[in-house]
Amino acid sequence: MKSFTNAAIIILTALLSAIPAAQASDSIVVFSGRSDKFVKPVIKQFTKETGIDVIIHSGESTALLNKLRIEGNRTDADLFLSNDAGTLQKGSDLGLFIKLPASIVADIGTNYRAKNDTWIGLSARARVLVVNTNSPFADSLRSVFDLADPALKGKLGITHSTNESYIAGVSVYLLATNKDKVKTWLSGMKSNVGGKVFNKHSKIVSAVASGKISVGLVNHYYIYRHLDKHPEAPITIILPDQGTNEIGVAWNVAGIAMSKYSKKQALAKKLLAYLISEKGQKVFAEINREYPTRDGVAASAVVPAAGSFKVADVPMYQLGKHRNETIDLIEAIGMP
Amino acid sequence: MAVLVVVLASIPLWFVVYESFQLSFEQWLRLWSSRLPELLWNTLSLAVLVAIGCFILGVSAAWWIARHDFPGRQCAIWLMILPLTIPTYVFAHIYTTLFEPDGWIGITWQYFFGDTVEIPDIYNIFGATLVLSLAGFSYVFLLAYSALSVSTRTLEEAAQIQGARKSQVFWRVNLPLLRPAIAAGLAVVVLHALSDFGAVSMLHFQTFTLSIYLQMSGRFDYQSAAGLSLVLIALSLTFLVLERFFRARQRYYSGRQTRKHVLTAASPSKVTFIWFWLSLITLFSFILPIVWMLSWSWEAWTQDLINQEFWGYALNSLSLAAICATIASVVALPIALYNHRLRSSFSNALIQVSSVGFVLPGPVVALGILTFIIATLPVVYGGIFALLLALIIRFLPLAVQSQDAAMQQLTPSIEQAGRILGATPLENLRRVILPMIRGGLASAWVLVFIDALKELPATLILRPTGFDTLPVRIWIEASEEMLELAAPAALMLVVGTLPVLWILMKNTNKH
């Protein structure tokens, strides 16, 4: 027994010492729900310029927000980064974030930040249609609501209804129009896809490119990502709902907030300031071809220029307020 | 001591009970009418299908291998247990990419069937069954195989003398004799299926576990999540109790004068048949996944993506699993011993409660622990402690069960002999009991190690800041479709599991 216990103790201490100490003192921690590959470049740049280390703790936005909530004042997190305005607003409603100083929020339009300045948007993306240029629909589609047209039966691609961009998009349509319209629209799409939905946006774009389906509802950057690899692909972007009486394109933002319990607020503010600086905005948005939220910073040249098209007039914080309502509607209709 | 461990192990259970008591009657009603019927149907049918799948794969393989001598028999045993090294979410991820139009299976399918027949969709119950069966049948195989190789000839010969045909002997004698082993194997498989998180969420198949996670994470609705968990626990416990009930009624004793079974040499045609079947199983359960991992890892290697960070994740994973296995084996000992000594309904209840970690979904265990530690012991939060506690709670049942099984061979007379010869109780433990159950201890360690190494949902939630393990990286990279980053991590899990699997096999062969 003794030798057994001894062996166990030795193994344990050896192994415990192999696990590195959680973090150094002059580093900040970012809970990140955004893809590592889109976050790391700008963070690396920041560390290089300021010497401040940043630990990126990645995961699903909502799971990380839960963690932040339960951890309370024990949290390590200084900043919370999410791809979805709805999640950010949820955190704000739960009182997890601190009000950001005017110097930081001033450069970001009021539509792209929390009403009480507890979070700011860093980059915006548009919900658009991708169509196969050889299909008859390339010329006839104008609105997302056209996707409910029975003529599209078997020719439409949408993602699984748990996708956060999808939910946020439906929230925007819900706020910009009305419940009945959105309900009819969802039901129409449901019968058009016949239970078969896509797991990822990128697969919708591939399916449209191969002609398997004719049209898909996606975030704009997936189209350009596909064109990078297959420049000859017969696909094009349609910015929907541009008519005078129409609602415009639905946007969603990726954004950032500061934890109420951050013990390194000064360092965290430095990162925030960097992220909204012209240089930081360029790097952060460009890598995924999103639209910088700071006025005057241009998006990548390949995407339609911001300001050249109409955007739905829905403040982003509304996405969080109506999130549960949207999910209820989606579930009530039984979207796959 | 045993009671203390069990109380700790039941923390997540208290969390679930407490949270679900906050649910009002109306909320329960809403839950019942809106979600439960579909979830119950999905979860139960998945469990049944996976059990059938594992039964077919596991028992057939065990029967051919345990009773026939053919070239490559040792190799065949290994091929049947190697799938244990691959986690369910890796299986799910690999199969979703293989079934893509440009994946290997997709291409092959189109080659044979052209564009006319659609490539089967695996984002449904059949996909989930396929993945969970391939990932789980090895448990059934292992238990059935070891039962078959120690079973005696006497009964079979008696049946043959009475004029029974071979197939009759199999169905009437062998299968009933195997029932406890198969039941135990299927129990493990079904419990894994009930609490699986990674595969079902990758395949978007709504089971209890996935729905619980979505309620918690997407809607911040802990109470509904807890309510659903409570139903799931009830379901799993019913199943466990039934399984034990049927097993308890069927204890088999072997006579003293036993003759071990001799392997019959298989005829050439039979050898071809056996290998055809085994290759088919192993092709889908191991060869395809491993070739996929190797080819994408090669891609990663040529792109110089296997860097210091990667080795860091590997070290994190291996040390975490080793610590967890060590602690779990040690704390399981008092429970198993206690149950062995008393065999009372109380000790049995202790064992049942300690197995709660196994039937609760990982995310729920994690949240329960998180809430508990923040409320009672905030000072220890932030380090590795919370994660370790969650993993140990999740996998303690594995350790307890396998130690309990090993103690079955300790007859009271052996211990009494020790005491009569003047040994103190402690000395008895050290010099008699522990040496006798050494095999069981090692198996317990290995089983916990394998599962802890592959664990995903609790690690995702509870890992200390910046502490990434291989499963966490696989999860992140796979959800971003960075195959060349997910593959080497998956391959590393396989490589890391191999040596301990070898220990397990050495143990099994010895008995």
pLDDT number for residue A11: 56
Tokens representing A254 are 């990726």
Residues of B in contact with A77 (CB under 8 A): 465
Residue B55 predicted with pLDDT over 90: yes
Does A22 sit within 8 Å of B467, measured CB to CB?
Answer: yes
Contacts of B322 in chain A (CB under 8 A): 11, 15
What pLDDT is recorded for position B449? 93
Supply the pLDDT for residue B43: 92
- Tokens read off for A20: 């590195």
**Does position B453 have pLDDT exceeding 90, yes or no?**
yes
Contact A37 B322 (CB under 8 A): no
The answer to whether B465 contacts chain A (CB < 8 Å) is: yes
- In the prediction, which pLDDT does A4 show? 53
Higher pLDDT, A271 or B3: A271
pLDDT in the model for residue B46? 95
Find the helix packing angle between B222-248 and B175-195, rounded to 10°: 170
Residue range B164-175: average pLDDT? 79
Tens-digit pLDDT string for chain A (336 aa): 445 555 555 555 555 554 444 445 678 999 999 888 889 899 999 999 999 999 999 888 888 898 898 888 888 899 999 988 989 999 999 999 999 999 888 888 888 888 899 999 999 999 999 999 988 888 888 889 988 888 888 889 999 888 888 999 999 999 998 889 999 999 999 988 887 788 788 889 988 998 888 999 999 999 998 898 888 889 989 899 898 888 899 989 999 999 999 989 999 999 999 999 988 998 888 888 899 988 888 888 888 888 888 888 888 888 888 888 898 888 888 888
From first CA to last CA, the distance across chain B in angstroms is 30
Confidence of residue B44 (pLDDT cuts 50, 70, 90): very high
Average pLDDT of the residues in B148-152? 72
Beta strands A215-219; A156-157: pairing state: parallel
The number of C-beta contacts closer than 8 angstroms across A and B is: 103
Q: What is the pLDDT of residues B359-380, one digit of tens each?
A: 788 888 888 888 888 888 777 7
Longest distance between any two alpha carbons in chain A, whole Å: 83
Question: Side chain identity at B151, as an amino acid letter?
Answer: S
When pLDDT is cut at 50, 70 and 90, the band that residue B509 belongs to is low
Sorted by where each starts, the structural domains of chain A and their CATH numbers stand as: 2-123+253-303 (3.40.190.10), 125-250+323-333 (3.40.190.10)
* Among candidates B96, B460, B464 on the partner chain, residue whose Cβ is nearest the Cβ of A63: B460
Q: Which chain A residues are closer than 8 Å to B323 by Cβ? A: 11-12, 15-16
Closest CB to B378 among A63, A74, A160? A74
State the Cα–Cα distance between residues B441 and A1, nearest whole angstrom: 13
In this predicted model, which residue has the larger pLDDT, B281 or B266?
B281
Dist. CA A191–CA A180, nearest whole Å? 17
The end-to-end CA distance of chain A, in Å, is: 57
Chain centroid offset of residue B279 CA: 23
Share of chain B above pLDDT 90, in %: 24
pLDDT of residue A10: 57
- Distance in angstroms (rounded) separating the CA atoms of residues B372 and B15: 8
Is residue B382 scored above 80 in pLDDT? Answer: no
Provide Rg for chain B, Cα atoms. Answer: 24
Q: Does the pLDDT of residue B511 top 50, yes or no?
A: no
If you average pLDDT over residues B345-352, what whole number do you get? 74
The per-residue pLDDT of chain B, averaged, comes to: 83
The span from the CA of A233 to the CA of A216, in Å, is 15
pLDDT in tens, B105-140: 888 888 888 777 778 888 889 999 999 999 999 989
The span from the CA of B155 to the CA of A219, in Å, is 68
Nearest to B451 by CA among B367, B395, B369, B400: B395
Contacts with A, B 39-98, CB within 8 Å: 96
The mean-pLDDT minimum among B39-48, B111-120, B239-248 falls in B239-248
CB B382 within 8 A of CB B35: no
Residues from chain B that touch A199, judged by Cβ atoms under 8 A, are: 96, 123, 204
The model's pLDDT over B278-318, given as tens digits with 9 standing for 90+, comes to: 999 999 999 999 999 999 999 888 888 788 888 999 999 99
DSSP string, B247-285: HHT------SS--BPPPEEPPHHHHHHHHHHHHHHHIII
Q: Show the domains of chain B with their CATH numbers.
A: 2-252+271-510 (1.10.3720.10)
Nearest CA in chain A to B321: A15
Q: What local confidence, expressed as pLDDT, does residue A99 receive?
A: 93
